[in-house]
Amino acid sequence: SAMGPIQDIITSTDDSSALTAAERAHLLVYSHAESPSNTLVAYSTNFGQVLLCNIHSANCSNDSVNADLTSTNVSAVEPCLSPISIFKANNFGIYCLATIASSGDSSEHGFMAAGSANGVFGYSWTDLVNLDGYDASPAVRWRLDLSGGTANSLASMSDGHQLIVACNDGCVKLYDLGHGGRLVRAWSFDDSSSNQSAASVLRVTVGSSDSSSAVCSDEAGFVRFLDSRQRSVRNSFQPALAAPDSVARPYLGNWLTCLACRPDTVDWFACGGGPRLAIWHSANLIEPIATIDWQPTDQFTPFCAEFSPCDRLLVGGNSSLVGQVSTVNGSLVSKTKLSCWQTMSIGCLGIGGDSGLSSVRDWRFTGCGLGSRIDVCSQLGYRLFSLSA
């Protein structure tokens, strides 16, 4: 359009955000994003909803949990709470969310980006914090047109102005929101010498300490390291080929649907999918630091992972269990049974609304996926309470 890839538009939908019983039975919670001041957490669903939850106001501390501490798989007494607000972003699924704000900014002067099949939509966190009710329609402050692609994953660069988007058309695109949503760079990984279609880029993530580095993974089994200042890929490798004995599972494939890096750097990262989940360092892409194989069956497929503040990796996938494993040797530290059947999203949250995770004692984690509940758990792995979607 004449307005370019980014434009001011207002959402207007007559559809109620309330779900029917049949829809709730098929609900998928895909992704989450935390507001800059850690006041709210947003969750997105396959029905185009965004759920806004004030987890910190639940007044459920770790000390109040009534659980048998001798078990690693026990639920606490779990009150079920409701989101403070729900709005319908569009009629497509919202596959990914990201918060766009400058590092260290503890105010709500930032945006929440929501990626779907018809572009990326930007909402002001100030607007979202002030929403009230289940049929609210917040203004869409900007929109990015992906030229027919679908956003599979989003990540905000630490400068608070650039958004990187992993698309299903084999591209990763970098936009500068500070200059009207200008497309700064697009990396295309299509192999023009073959007749195969471009492999969908499934995940992209960034580290907070470097405002120019990112890492992505795709269906073809590649991990690629990107630099926002360079047109070419900085480095790439295929975990299944690099370590066939410890990582490859050819009967499941090479696709990498799970990718996470440490909060401070992309040099330490974990990836998996068809191949076993493993922790790597970019200085040694021949053999993983640790292979994670904590499930009793070799059919476990990781969908999501998150590095915690205390040298553990939270892992979820095609089961209701979330495991906390050591980043040193990959051994299982604890496991938690969630309400969902499959886990699609895990997030570490600061307690009490503190901005950032300042110590190893001030965090919880949430888990959600195929199911209508979002579970909030203590760092010890006990379910504290649930949110009903």
pLDDT of residue 30: 95
β-sheet bridge partners, residue 167: 151
Tens of pLDDT along 58-67?
544 433 333 3
Query: Could you tell me if 39 and 108 are in contact, meaning their C-beta atoms sit under 8 angstroms apart?
Result: yes
- Give the span between the Cα atoms of 324 and 331, in whole angstroms: 9
For the segment 224-238, the average pLDDT, to the nearest whole number, is 93
| 309 CA to centre of own chain | 17
pLDDT of residue 178: 87
pLDDT of residue 267: 92
β-sheet bridge partners, residue 122: 113, 142
Query: Could you tell me if 125 and 114 are in contact, meaning their C-beta atoms sit under 8 angstroms apart?
Result: no
C-alpha distance from residue 205 to each of 103, 120, 265, 326 (Å): 15, 17, 10, 21
Nearest to 382 by CA among 325, 322, 300: 322
* Structure tokens given for 113: 């980006």
Question: Has residue 228 got a pLDDT over 50?
Answer: yes
For the segment 272-288, the average pLDDT, to the nearest whole number, is 95
Tens of pLDDT along 121-139?
999 999 999 887 777 789 9
Tens of pLDDT along 310-338?
889 999 999 999 999 999 999 999 999 99
Q: Which of 5-9, 134-138, 299-303 is predicted with the least confidence, judged by mean pLDDT?
A: 5-9
pLDDT of residue 198: 66
Amino acid at 324: Q
E strand spans, 110-212:
111-116, 119-124, 139-140, 142-144, 151-156, 162-167, 171-176, 182-188, 201-206
β-sheet bridge partners, residue 176: 162, 182
Tens of pLDDT along 333-387?
999 999 999 999 999 886 544 444 445 556 889 999 999 999 999 888 889 889 8
pLDDT of residue 69: 31
Pick the residue with more confidence: 59 or 260? 260
- Give the span between the Cα atoms of 162 and 290, in whole angstroms: 32
Question: Has residue 209 got a pLDDT over 70?
Answer: no
Could you tell me the domains of the chain?
27-60+79-388 (2.130.10.10)
Question: Has residue 237 got a pLDDT over 90?
Answer: yes
pLDDT of residue 208: 67
Question: Has residue 219 got a pLDDT over 90?
Answer: yes
- Give the span between the Cα atoms of 44 and 41, in whole angstroms: 10
pLDDT of residue 252: 93
> 10 Å Cβ neighbour count for 47?
22
Query: Could you tell me if 28 and 20 are in contact, meaning their C-beta atoms sit under 8 angstroms apart?
Result: no
β-sheet bridge partners, residue 113: 98, 122
Question: Has residue 104 got a pLDDT over 50?
Answer: yes
pLDDT of residue 70: 31
Q: Tell me the pLDDT of the chain averaged across its residues.
A: 83
For the segment 86-112, the average pLDDT, to the nearest whole number, is 83
Question: How does DSSP classify residue 295?
Answer: S
For the segment 5-12, the average pLDDT, to the nearest whole number, is 36
Quick check: helix, strand or coil at residue 112?
strand
Question: Has residue 5 got a pLDDT over 60?
Answer: no
Nearest to 17 by CA among 51, 53, 55: 51
pLDDT of residue 241: 96
Pick the residue with more confidence: 276 or 15? 276
Give 344: exposed, middle or buried? Use CB within 10 Å, 0-12, 13-18, 19+: buried
CA neighbours closer than 13 Å in the CB half-sphere of residue 308: 26
Nearest to 314 by CA among 367, 238, 358, 389: 367
Angle (CA) 92 93 95, round 5°: 135
Q: What percent of the chain has pLDDT over 70?
A: 81
- Give the span between the Cα atoms of 260 and 150, in whole angstroms: 21
Q: Which of 188-197, 229-238, 298-307 is predicted with the least confidence, judged by mean pLDDT?
A: 188-197
Query: Could you tell me if 261 and 269 are in contact, meaning their C-beta atoms sit under 8 angstroms apart?
Result: yes
* Structure tokens given for 155: 């990540």
C-alpha distance from residue 170 to each of 156, 167, 199, 254, 383 (Å): 19, 6, 5, 16, 38
In what side-by-side order are the strands of the sheet with 201-206? 201-206, 213-218, 223-227, 235-237
pLDDT of residue 102: 67
pLDDT of residue 149: 87
Question: Has residue 4 got a pLDDT over 90?
Answer: no
Nearest to 336 by CA among 318, 306, 314: 314
Tens of pLDDT along 38-90?
889 999 999 999 999 988 765 444 333 333 333 344 444 456 788 899 999 98
- Give the span between the Cα atoms of 69 and 384, in whole angstroms: 13
pLDDT of residue 191: 57
Nearest to 99 by CA among 214, 177, 11, 201: 177
